[in-house]
Structure 1
Amino acid sequence: MTTRFEDRLNQVIDRLLSRELLANVGLGNEIGFYIFDYEPEHELHMRAYLQTIEDQLPKRKPDLRFVHINLFQLIIDYLKDRKLLDKSFQRQKSKGDEALLKALSGPLEAKKMAEYFVHKANPEDQDLILLSGIGSAWPLIRSHSLLNSLHPLIQNTPLVIFYPGKFDGQGLRLFGRLKQSNYYRAFRLVA
């Protein structure tokens, strides 16, 4: 017997390869941002399934150009590029988590991270962008702020966000517990 989560997972690859999603058909002039929300306790299963997605997409559609960005890894890469990673470790060790969060609020501001995301993802050269690692990146980056900053930067390339929480079409609740952040510019990937 399969769970609702597994039933939804079984629809993901077909949905990612659908003409409607890849061509942004039927979105009423909206940008193709899609969210696959899931209960946080399924995180490890989701990570394993993301590897399955990465393995299956080229087999099922060899000409598909796609990239998978893990938001937490993107933060690490950004801090390395800016020569801030070791300093961040030192600050956290000597002054604690709150001091580190405060120190990183400027460098990890949503617009800067959105620009770095676009630099790494190269949306103009992709047919599809997958985004994961949202839960691991919290509280360094707020997903709704990043998504809002990405809207003007990603034009016609569908972005699929794998989100450990709840998305009801109007707002996001990370981990299903944190205060809802209004975000209504995305579509559910699968029901």
Structure 2
Amino acid sequence: MVPSRYQYASRTLQAHSKAARAQDDFARRCEALRARLGEDDFLHNRGLGNEIGFFTFCYDASLELRAREFFAQLEAESANGALPCNLIVRNLYDTFLGLLEKKRILAAVPKQEARRGSDHLLKRLRSIATPEALAAELAYEPHQPGDVLLLTGVGEIYPFLRVHTLLDNMHVAFGDIPVVVAYPGRFNGQSFSLFNMLDDGNYYRAFDIS
């Protein structure tokens, strides 16, 4: 059935309205995150009721390029002293590739996929780039007062890694500094929804920055 002009116009208006809401929400969250990065309590994990300082910065996946620009801007502001924190940005997909390179298997991945298939390769890579191994790749010492770890690339590394499994393995190594997960989807305080459509697992120990 061919949609009428009215139906087409209505759908177009709804799409524009949805995009506008996503952009407004993104702008509000950007302001909230920048404000948090300047708060002494945030930088020292205070006021969390004995919980660890793990946070989510959620945004619509259609705004990925804007998000990357924003994170780069925050990193530059941190480096030049415009923000009173040391923002450390780590892309999870780059971390994943770095781990495969360290294991000396990255170059063989295309051939393995051609020979054994995508399903076999996915299973193999998950057994190597485990949440524990990736958490160890992200770890560094010593942590300094004012350090904030910002994790990006959550959408890029899927389906090799589910973010809740990574966070479960970061509690010990990063319990003393704030960790912010840039998440292209939703987090309702109990579960993740990647791209606002994929069930990405349950998690209860993070606070959404909104």
CA separation of 1:78/1:13 partners in 2, compared to 1, >3 Å: closer, same or farther?
same
Q: CA deviation at 1:180?
A: 4.7
Which amino acid in 1 is paired with 2:79? P
TM-score of the superposition, structure 2-length normalised?
0.82
The residue aligned with 2:58 is 37
Identify which of structures 1 and 2 has the higher relative contact order when contacts are C-alpha pairs closer than 8 Å and 6+ apart: 1
Which residue is equivalent to 1:101?
122
Partners of 1:165 and 1:154 lie apart in 2 by: 23
- CA RMSD across the alignment: 1.9
Query: Is residue 2:28 matched to residue 1:7?
Result: yes
Alignment partner for residue 142 of structure 1, among 147, 155, 162? 162
Which position in structure 2 is the counterpart of 1:153? Answer: 173
Matched position secondary structure for 2:155? helix
Runs of at least 5 residues in structure 2 that lack an aligned partner in the other structure: 1-19
CA distances 1:149-182 after superposition (whole Å, capped 9, x unpaired): 1112212011011001101111111111112511
Partner of 2:195: 175
* Structure-1 separation of matches of 2:101 and 2:157: 15
Q: How far apart are residue 96 of structure 1 and its match?
A: 2.9
Aligned length: 188
Give the 3 Å change call, closer, same or farther, for CA 62–177 of structure 1 in structure 2.
closer
- Please report the TM-score for the alignment, with normalisation by the length of structure 1: 0.90
Change (3 A) 1:140 1:103: same
Q: CA deviation at 1:22?
A: 0.2
Q: Tell me, in whole angstroms, the C-alpha distance in 2 between the residues paired with 1:49 and 1:175.
A: 19
Aligned with 1:145: secondary structure?
A: helix
Counterpart check, 1:57 vs 2:69: no
Distance 2:200 2:91 in 1: 22
Greater Cα radius of gyration, structure 1 or 2: 2
Q: Which amino acid aligns with 2:186?
A: K
AA in 2 matched with 1:43: E
Task: Choose from 87, 93, 96 the match for 1:66.
Answer: 87
Q: Deviations over 1:51-86 (max 9, x none)?
A: 111111233457633311000000011111110101
**In the aligned structure 2, how far is the partner of 1:122 from the partner of 1:73?**
20
Q: Shift of the alpha carbon at 1:3?
A: 1.8
The one-letter code of the counterpart of 1:155 is G
Give the C-alpha shift of residue 95 in structure 1: 2.9
Match of 2:183 among 147, 163, 168: 163
**2:61 paired with 1:20:** no
Show the counterpart of 1:85. Answer: 106
Distance 1:181 1:123, change over 3 A: farther
Q: SS of the residue aligned with 1:34?
A: strand
The answer for the alignment partner of 2:143 in structure 1 is: 124
| Residues 63, 20 of structure 1: alpha-carbon distance in 2 compared, 3 angstrom cutoff | closer
